[in-house]
Structure 1
Amino acid sequence: MVFFKGWRYATFIGGFVGFIGLTMYPIAISPMLDASQYKQIQKVTRRNLNPEQIQPGNMKVWSDPFDRKHDN
Protein backbone atom coordinates (compact mmCIF):
# COMPACT_ATOMS: atom_id res chain seq x y z
CA MET A 1 0.00 0.00 0.00
CA VAL A 2 1.30 3.42 -0.96
CA PHE A 3 1.44 6.15 1.68
CA PHE A 4 1.95 9.73 0.61
CA LYS A 5 4.55 11.82 2.43
CA GLY A 6 5.52 15.46 2.24
CA TRP A 7 4.41 17.49 -0.76
CA ARG A 8 2.62 14.51 -2.33
CA TYR A 9 0.36 14.23 0.71
CA ALA A 10 -0.41 17.96 0.57
CA THR A 11 -1.14 17.70 -3.16
CA PHE A 12 -3.43 14.72 -2.63
CA ILE A 13 -5.39 16.44 0.15
CA GLY A 14 -5.54 19.71 -1.80
CA GLY A 15 -6.79 17.90 -4.89
CA PHE A 16 -9.40 16.04 -2.88
CA VAL A 17 -10.70 19.22 -1.23
CA GLY A 18 -10.62 21.01 -4.59
CA PHE A 19 -12.60 18.22 -6.22
CA ILE A 20 -15.28 18.41 -3.52
CA GLY A 21 -15.41 22.21 -3.92
CA LEU A 22 -15.78 21.96 -7.70
CA THR A 23 -18.62 19.45 -7.41
CA MET A 24 -20.44 21.49 -4.74
CA TYR A 25 -20.24 24.84 -6.56
CA PRO A 26 -23.03 24.32 -9.15
CA ILE A 27 -25.19 22.41 -6.66
CA ALA A 28 -25.06 24.55 -3.51
CA ILE A 29 -22.95 27.69 -3.84
CA SER A 30 -24.04 29.14 -7.19
CA PRO A 31 -27.81 29.13 -6.41
CA MET A 32 -27.15 30.95 -3.13
CA LEU A 33 -25.11 33.66 -4.83
CA ASP A 34 -27.52 34.34 -7.71
CA ALA A 35 -31.13 33.19 -7.40
CA SER A 36 -32.46 35.17 -10.38
CA GLN A 37 -32.43 32.14 -12.68
CA TYR A 38 -34.57 30.15 -10.25
CA LYS A 39 -36.97 33.07 -9.71
CA GLN A 40 -37.47 33.26 -13.48
CA ILE A 41 -38.16 29.51 -13.66
CA GLN A 42 -40.77 29.86 -10.88
CA LYS A 43 -42.49 32.72 -12.70
CA VAL A 44 -42.80 30.61 -15.83
CA THR A 45 -43.96 27.43 -14.12
CA ARG A 46 -46.43 29.13 -11.74
CA ARG A 47 -47.91 31.47 -14.33
CA ASN A 48 -51.29 29.71 -14.61
CA LEU A 49 -51.71 28.81 -10.93
CA ASN A 50 -54.22 30.59 -8.72
CA PRO A 51 -53.12 30.20 -5.07
CA GLU A 52 -56.63 30.87 -3.73
CA GLN A 53 -58.03 27.88 -5.64
CA ILE A 54 -55.39 25.35 -4.63
CA GLN A 55 -54.99 26.41 -0.99
CA PRO A 56 -56.18 23.47 1.17
CA GLY A 57 -58.79 23.77 3.88
CA ASN A 58 -59.81 27.37 3.14
CA MET A 59 -56.54 28.49 4.70
CA LYS A 60 -55.17 31.97 4.17
CA VAL A 61 -52.60 32.26 1.39
CA TRP A 62 -49.08 32.64 2.80
CA SER A 63 -47.96 36.13 3.63
CA ASP A 64 -44.71 37.45 5.03
CA PRO A 65 -44.84 37.14 8.85
CA PHE A 66 -42.27 39.92 9.24
CA ASP A 67 -44.22 42.42 7.15
CA ARG A 68 -45.26 45.17 9.57
CA LYS A 69 -48.48 47.09 9.22
CA HIS A 70 -47.94 50.81 8.86
CA ASP A 71 -50.32 53.10 10.74
CA ASN A 72 -50.63 56.45 9.02
Structure 2
Amino acid sequence: MAVLRGWRFVAFVSCIVGAVGLTLYPVVVDPMLNTEKYKSLQEYSKIKRDELQHIKVK
Protein backbone atom coordinates (compact mmCIF):
# COMPACT_ATOMS: atom_id res chain seq x y z
CA MET A 1 0.00 0.00 0.00
CA ALA A 2 1.39 3.37 -0.98
CA VAL A 3 1.93 6.05 1.61
CA LEU A 4 0.61 9.44 0.58
CA ARG A 5 3.05 12.24 1.33
CA GLY A 6 3.49 15.78 0.12
CA TRP A 7 1.54 16.87 -2.93
CA ARG A 8 -0.11 13.44 -3.35
CA PHE A 9 -1.70 13.74 0.08
CA VAL A 10 -2.91 17.25 -0.74
CA ALA A 11 -4.34 16.01 -4.05
CA PHE A 12 -6.11 13.11 -2.33
CA VAL A 13 -7.67 15.32 0.35
CA SER A 14 -8.65 17.90 -2.28
CA CYS A 15 -10.43 15.21 -4.31
CA ILE A 16 -12.37 14.06 -1.26
CA VAL A 17 -13.37 17.62 -0.32
CA GLY A 18 -14.31 18.37 -3.94
CA ALA A 19 -16.47 15.25 -4.20
CA VAL A 20 -18.32 16.16 -1.01
CA GLY A 21 -18.77 19.72 -2.27
CA LEU A 22 -20.14 18.57 -5.63
CA THR A 23 -22.52 16.21 -3.88
CA LEU A 24 -23.88 18.81 -1.47
CA TYR A 25 -24.13 21.73 -3.91
CA PRO A 26 -27.54 20.92 -5.47
CA VAL A 27 -29.02 19.98 -2.09
CA VAL A 28 -27.68 22.74 0.18
CA VAL A 29 -26.18 25.66 -1.74
CA ASP A 30 -28.43 25.97 -4.82
CA PRO A 31 -31.72 26.39 -2.88
CA MET A 32 -30.10 29.16 -0.82
CA LEU A 33 -28.88 31.03 -3.90
CA ASN A 34 -31.92 30.56 -6.17
CA THR A 35 -34.90 30.88 -3.85
CA GLU A 36 -37.43 31.90 -6.51
CA LYS A 37 -37.26 28.59 -8.36
CA TYR A 38 -37.85 26.60 -5.18
CA LYS A 39 -40.62 28.91 -3.95
CA SER A 40 -42.54 28.36 -7.18
CA LEU A 41 -42.04 24.60 -6.96
CA GLN A 42 -43.23 24.61 -3.36
CA GLU A 43 -46.33 26.62 -4.24
CA TYR A 44 -47.11 24.31 -7.16
CA SER A 45 -46.87 21.23 -4.95
CA LYS A 46 -49.06 22.92 -2.32
CA ILE A 47 -51.76 23.60 -4.93
CA LYS A 48 -51.63 19.99 -6.15
CA ARG A 49 -51.80 18.70 -2.57
CA ASP A 50 -54.89 20.85 -1.87
CA GLU A 51 -56.56 19.58 -5.05
CA LEU A 52 -55.89 15.97 -4.05
CA GLN A 53 -57.34 16.54 -0.58
CA HIS A 54 -60.41 18.14 -2.17
CA ILE A 55 -60.90 15.09 -4.40
CA LYS A 56 -60.60 12.71 -1.42
CA VAL A 57 -63.26 14.63 0.54
CA LYS A 58 -65.88 14.27 -2.21
Q: Does the alignment reach a TM-score above 0.5? A: yes
Q: CA deviation at 1:42?
A: 2.0
Structure 2, unpaired ranges of 5+: 51-58
Bigger radius of gyration: 1
Sequence identity, in percent?
Answer: 37
Q: CA RMSD in A?
A: 1.5
Q: Deviations over 1:24-70 (max 9, x none)?
A: 10010111111111111122222364xxxxxxxxxxxxxxxxxxxxx
Match for residue 58 of structure 1? Answer: none
Q: Give the length in aligned residue pairs.
A: 49
Which protein has the bigger helix share? 2
2:15 is equivalent to residue 11 of structure 1? no
Structure 1, unpaired ranges of 5+: 50-72
User: What TM-score, normalized by structure 2, do the two folds share?
Assistant: 0.70
What is the one-letter code of the residue matched to 2:26? P
What is the one-letter code of the residue matched to 1:40? S
